[in-house]
Amino acid sequence: MEEVTVPLIRDPELIPIADKVLSGERLSFEEGVKLFRTNDLLTLGMLANAVAEKKNGNFAYFNVNVHITPTNICVGTCKFCAFKKKKGEEGAYELTVEEILRKLSVYRERNPGLTEVHIVGGLHPDWEYEDFINIVKQVKANFPEIHVKAYTAEEIKYIAEKGGKSVEETLMDLIEAGLGSIPGGGGEIFSTRVRQKLCPDKITAEEYLEIHKTAHRLGLKSNATMLFGHVESLEERVDHLIRLREAQDETGGFQTFIPLAFHPVNTEIPGASFTTGVDELKTIAVSRLMLDNFPHIKAYWIMLGEKVAQIALQFGADDIDGTVVEEDITQAAGARAGQFIPKDRLIKLIREAGKIPVERDTLYNIVKIYQ
Ligand code: V47
């Protein structure tokens, strides 16, 4: 039989980067861009997986969670968002606190062992400071065993403005009401160029980072996100990652980074298309390699689909998110994944990706290891 010789690393540009990764050295902006530009997907995945395993062993995490979106009525104007509605527009809704509690009760029934509720929604023009605080307060009072992960940095700024309070005071009130941590939404892409184009009214990158750092200083953990695959350049993605890495150097309060794959349906971005499998896997892997100070990288199955999310567990991700149950933001923008994956299925996805499924709570305390 003819001998087949294949170089282990096909892209010679990756050799010095691999040396740095394997010796634990921090990668530069230029190296991040090279990683995005390489076609040597398997080397990229191998390196990211090596880093993930160094940080988390063979574990891949999931949780039993639900999302609740109290309203889609939003004064925001983000062009990538297909979920927002103006007040009075067809399809606009707002839940009362009682409806939120009832939903949570039904979802807990359907989802035994529930440990987390993720609450984010629109910037409702009529809701007052107390209304936002009261949602957290009532949820926590009625479901004390459930961790409340609520309100993106954008919402926190909005709530603070509504109450004429500082971000710090607002966070302190939310903590008193029962807030457990902050989700990563609203990060989008930090580039001013892109924010001007897609969401000029939104908090700036600096504000997003400052709100997260304030939360960290108050003892809260948070997650970070990056919405990718719309009009941003690869350089802008790497810049986003480096700015998160710098913020994490300061406070260490970020738990997980979640790259969010852009969904184009019903959005206001002309010509935008769905992200591809290769781009999604590259983005997961480059995130793992650049964010050397983030403990976890999440492959959010709602946006990646179950198949790519599973493969991402070999490309640097160590978390697949949770059971979810109801999800509205991606659904409005053409989601192809469903909204609910039962726990057994998450365990199967993780096992078949060659990892040990670990059920966690929001703060990564282990609930159960499925050996
Ligand atoms: O902030 C909006 C994004 C985010 C679209 O912290 C879109 O654990 C794709 O942040 N296509 C909300 N994405 C989701 C989010 C999240 C999800 C799961 C877990 C966590 C966590 C955070 O969704 C928004 C925005 O960046 N988004 N529109 C769209 N068309």
Percent of the chain with pLDDT strictly greater than 70: 100
Is the shortest distance between the CB of 227 and ligand 1 below 6 Å?
Answer: yes
Residue nearest (by alpha carbon) to ligand 1 atom 4: 185
Is the shortest distance between the CB of 255 and ligand 1 below 6 Å?
Answer: no
Counting from 1 in the atom list of ligand 1, the atom nearest the Cα of 265 is: 30
In the numeric block, which tokens belong to residue 155?
């919402």
Spacing, Cα 303 to ligand 1 middle (Å)? 9
| pLDDT for the residue numbered 32 | 98
CATH number given to 27-369: 3.20.20.70
Nearest to 143, CA basis, from 194, 113, 101: 101
Spacing, Cα 10 to ligand 1 middle (Å)? 34
Domains of the chain, by residue range, sit at 27-369
Nearest to 270, CA basis, from 331, 201, 329, 198: 198
Mean pLDDT of 258-275: 97
In tens, the pLDDT along 142-177 reads 999 999 999 999 999 999 999 999 999 999 999 999
In DSSP terms, 368 is beta-bridged to: 359
In tens, the pLDDT along 95-118 reads 999 999 999 999 999 999 999 999
The mean pLDDT value of the chain amounts to 97
Residue nearest (by alpha carbon) to ligand 1 atom 5: 81
Is the shortest distance between the CB of 267 and ligand 1 below 6 Å?
Answer: yes
Is the shortest distance between the CB of 82 and ligand 1 below 6 Å?
Answer: yes
| pLDDT for the residue numbered 6 | 74
Residue nearest (by alpha carbon) to ligand 1 atom 28: 81
Separation of alpha carbons 230 and 163, rounded Å: 34
Mean pLDDT of 132-136: 98
